[in-house]
């Protein structure tokens, strides 16, 4: 069984801070500075160009991909880490569209994180071939899967409310009707159990700087189903995905039947080093334990806020099975309130227009943290200085 | 005047090593470990999510872009760093193609670094609209610019031979005939003086892990001419380029008239930190001084090799003005010879089939290094054990 008091000691969180924003940027593992110092001295400084071979830099995208894949139910050889999530969305979507060449509808939802929609827009403009992006309410996605849909591209856990899509149901219906599905796991990976292999997911993408704690701007990941690896078209066809990258052919031939073909160009090895250190913590974690613990803490948080914080109302699904690992509350003065919380060391975040988000991350959050956060929130609310605060600060939302 | 003995002390190069591979991966600045330790402790650990605002992470791609831009004659506000070079090639090419919608020819050359050709291939396949990629010999590019060419996409300095294209001539002819030009400065930035602004360059891309010394996999950069900034189409339209990224619109609106629109998704701030430290060295360097010094050292190297190393023949242009900052030699047993050099601390690299490359990087290389490298090479050649070595090692070219 996972010992969360042990994982808690593996992070360096400033004294007095209750960090409820691991859903946005995970905190630093204590091992990171030494691991990075070793990378800089023993690898870059000492090995120089040889590091690509002697220190495993060249295949690190794959090795780390396997470790991230393990957290989302992917078998080895199906996942790589690289690039930004926006790029990985584009790459998955371009490939998926080509798999259903006679249809012209991409189905997402208006609760998806905007960059996914933006990347789809750009890709559609680039192809200029009659594509349509449909974005119903998240609740209507399942019904909106019709026979003209080529690709369903949705984020499993809503970045604002924490609402979860029903992965199994969407996949089943989409596959039945001949559509390909792309899952954005930005708020799932390291947050909740995901079973990419068992659910026969086509494509998944996600990031590693949130729950996985890989550091600001840590690389994204992409998963491709084993059955697609030999035919998936890597339109972002860079030399890192070439079958013989060091023969310097003038024409592109993707690595046959390997996730390696979804690699594009040269990746930051320093960023990989931080991610590797963060993944060491996950070696101690069982996802079922994590899920159980997240729910316990979230239930405690919700119950406490609802009983002690009038005017603050739950904006996440009440049923824990319908939520990811963050909890959102709606509050008219949410922006100013979040600023007040942050100034007192309780760090969550705000999403326009009135959502306060709190990440429930058992790797480093326990009951005492939850109770402290609610106490601070309760005190702030008791002061009732909202009208002055909010107009002064609202324009600074970034 | 630049003091190169001073810049030399700013790098941490292992004792006894002559590092002639700064054209492939620059060495570590001495300041990197402390700067990174400060980033980890004072920024990620201490500021956590707030670092995006309090530590300038959000606009670092632009701030670093301006500093890189300064090295290639770009004015502030025209350059960002981000992503890999392959992605930046794709982004520039997609935008350039759209600017000449009635033409279907992309002109490059068969000496271009393959990933540029591969990314063009992928983009053409994605657009599926009759595009053709022409790749004549580098020497024939100027003549190959004809009225049907939409985009000329070439690398200024050949990654193997070091041969330089005539930027001014290519731009002049291309613009005269209505084509857009993209320059890949992978082997130019930090190597030779480049004048993006003065030459009215349309697009330029490059990397920062070679001569700029930003570390393995350091971010790429993209430059867009000021006159194009308001109309350039960011097909890789991620939220980092949105006019109001924190309003979470469901549709994409690029930042008007700013290079920021070429930003895509979240970037590694650790990688930015290393690049920032590397750029501190460049504050001490004048590009004209650097160019003069590179030529002095390269001339010495060529003269010494030619007089002392029989069978090794210059594969770079003899005229220093026609070369970048690396020197290539052709040698039948080049692979085995390079392995022998490396084992004795003289680090260059090998490019198939028979090219030995040596980066001439005055920031940390001086006459003594050059003379030592040639002595070691001379000794190796005198031993003449090539026939045994080369068959044992040839299959390991990576």
Given this model, what pLDDT does residue A1 score?
87
- A174 in the same domain as A88: yes
| B41/A246 Cβ within 8 A | no
- B254 in the same domain as B187: yes
The residue of chain A with its CA nearest to that of B35 is A37
Given this model, what pLDDT does residue B384 score?
65
Given this model, what pLDDT does residue B392 score?
46
Given this model, what pLDDT does residue A337 score?
95
Catalytic residue list contains B198: no
Calculate the average pLDDT of chain A: 95
Would the pLDDT of A392 be above 70?
A: no
* Rg for chain B, CA atoms, rounded: 22
Would the pLDDT of B5 be above 50?
A: yes
**Cα–Cα dist B375/A171, whole Å:** 66
Range of the structural domain that residue B322 is part of: 4-28+286-383
Residues in A touching B206 (Cβ below 8 Å): none
Would the pLDDT of A397 be above 50?
A: no
Read off the DSSP letter of residue B75. Answer: P
- A195 in the same domain as A62: yes
Given this model, what pLDDT does residue B17 score?
98
Residues in B touching A51 (Cβ below 8 Å): 25, 216
Picking from A48, A95, A108, A245 by the largest number of B CB atoms within 10 A of its own CB, the best residue to mutate is: A48
Residues in B touching A49 (Cβ below 8 Å): 21, 24-25, 347, 349
- CATH number where B302 lies: 3.90.1150.10
Alpha helices in B238-385 (DSSP H): 269-282, 287-308, 334-343, 367-383
Query: Does residue A353 have a cis bond before it (omega within 30 degrees)?
Result: yes
Q: A296: helix, coil or strand?
A: helix
pLDDT, tens digit, 9 for 90 and up, residues A362-379: 999 999 999 999 999 999
Catalytic residue list contains B148: no
Given this model, what pLDDT does residue B391 score?
47
Position A383 confidence tier, pLDDT thresholds 50, 70, 90: confident
Q: Are B35 and B380 in contact (CB under 8 A)?
A: no
Q: A195: helix, coil or strand?
A: coil
- CB neighbours of B70 closer than 8 A, spacing ≥ 6? B282
Whole-model pTM? 0.96
pLDDT, tens digit, 9 for 90 and up, residues A217-231: 999 999 999 999 999
**What's the structural domain count of chain A?**
2
Q: Pick the catalytic residue from A109, A184, A202, A349.
A: A184
**Cα–Cα dist A30/B45, whole Å:** 9
- B294 in the same domain as B278: no
Listed residues A250, A282, A314: the one ending a domain: A282
Question: Number of C-alpha atoms within 13 angstroms, CB side, residue B245?
Answer: 18
Picking from A106, A213, A238 by the largest number of B CB atoms within 10 A of its own CB, the best residue to mutate is: A238
The residue of chain B with its CA nearest to that of A35 is B37
- CATH number where A108 lies: 3.40.640.10
Q: B78: helix, coil or strand?
A: coil
Q: How far is B54 from chain A (nearest CA, A)?
A: 11
Mean pLDDT of A122-141: 98
Mean pLDDT of B345-350: 96
Catalytic residue list contains B4: no
Would the pLDDT of B385 be above 80?
A: no
> Of A57, A85, A216, which is closest to B216 when you measure between CB atoms?
A57
Alpha helices in A191-344 (DSSP H): 269-282, 287-308, 334-343
- B123 in the same domain as B47: yes
Catalytic residue list contains B45: no
Position A203 confidence tier, pLDDT thresholds 50, 70, 90: very high
Q: How far is B60 from chain A (nearest CA, A)?
A: 12
- B290 in the same domain as B263: no
Residues in A touching B217 (Cβ below 8 Å): 57, 266-272
- B159 in the same domain as B138: yes
pLDDT, tens digit, 9 for 90 and up, residues B287-313: 999 999 999 999 999 999 999 999 999
Given this model, what pLDDT does residue A387 score?
52
Residues in B touching A252 (Cβ below 8 Å): 114, 117-118, 121-122
In a domain, B24, yes or no: yes
Listed residues A282, A312, A327: the one ending a domain: A282
Picking from A126, A272, A398 by the largest number of B CB atoms within 10 A of its own CB, the best residue to mutate is: A126
Would the pLDDT of B4 be above 90?
A: yes
Listed residues B282, B315, B350: the one ending a domain: B282
């Amino acid at each position: 069984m996972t010992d969360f008091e042990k994982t808690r000691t593996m992070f360096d969180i400033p004294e007095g801070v209750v960090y409820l924003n691991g859903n946005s940027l995970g905190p630093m593992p204590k091992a990171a500075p030494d691991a990075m110092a070793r990378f800089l001295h023993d690898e870059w400084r000492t090995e120089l160009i040889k590091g690509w071979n002697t220190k495993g830099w060249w295949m690190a995208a794959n090795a780390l991909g396997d470790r991230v894949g393990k957290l989302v139910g992917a078998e080895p050889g199906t996942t790589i880490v690289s690039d930004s999530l926006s790029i990985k969305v584009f790459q998955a979507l371009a490939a998926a569209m080509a798999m259903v060449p006679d249809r012209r509808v991409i189905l997402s939802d208006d609760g998806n994180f905007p960059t996914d929609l933006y990347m789809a827009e750009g890709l559609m403009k680039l192809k200029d071939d009659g594509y349509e992006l449909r974005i119903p309410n998240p609740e209507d996605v399942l019904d909106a899967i019709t026979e003209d849909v080529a690709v369903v591209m949705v984020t499993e856990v809503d970045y604002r409310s924490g609402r979860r899509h029903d992965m199994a149901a969407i996949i089943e219906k989409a596959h039945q009707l001949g559509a390909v599905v792309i899952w954005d796991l930005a708020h799932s990976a390291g947050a909740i159990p995901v079973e990419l292999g068992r659910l026969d997911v086509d494509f998944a993408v996600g990031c590693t700087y949130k729950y996985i704690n890989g550091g600001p701007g840590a690389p994204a990941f992409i998963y491709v189903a084993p059955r697609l690896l030999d035919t998936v078209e890597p339109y972002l066809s860079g030399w890192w995905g070439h079958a013989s990258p060091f023969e310097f052919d003038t024409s592109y031939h993707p690595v046959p039947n390997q996730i390696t073909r979804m690699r594009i160009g040269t990746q930051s090895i320093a960023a990989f080093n931080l991610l590797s250190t963060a993944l060491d913590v996950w070696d101690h974690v069982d996802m079922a334990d994590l899920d159980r613990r997240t729910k316990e803490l979230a239930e405690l948080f919700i119950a406490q806020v609802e009983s002690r914080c009038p005017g603050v109302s739950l904006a996440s699904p009440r049923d824990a099975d319908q939520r990811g690992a963050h909890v959102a509350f709606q509050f008219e003065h949410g922006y100013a309130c979040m600023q007040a919380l942050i100034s007192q060391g309780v760090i969550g975040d705000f999403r326009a227009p009135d959502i306060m988000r709190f990440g429930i991350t058992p790797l480093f959050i326990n009951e005492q943290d939850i109770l402290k956060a609610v106490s601070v929130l309760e005190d702030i609310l008791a002061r009732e200085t909202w009208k002055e605060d909010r107009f002064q600060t609202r324009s600074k939302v970034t």
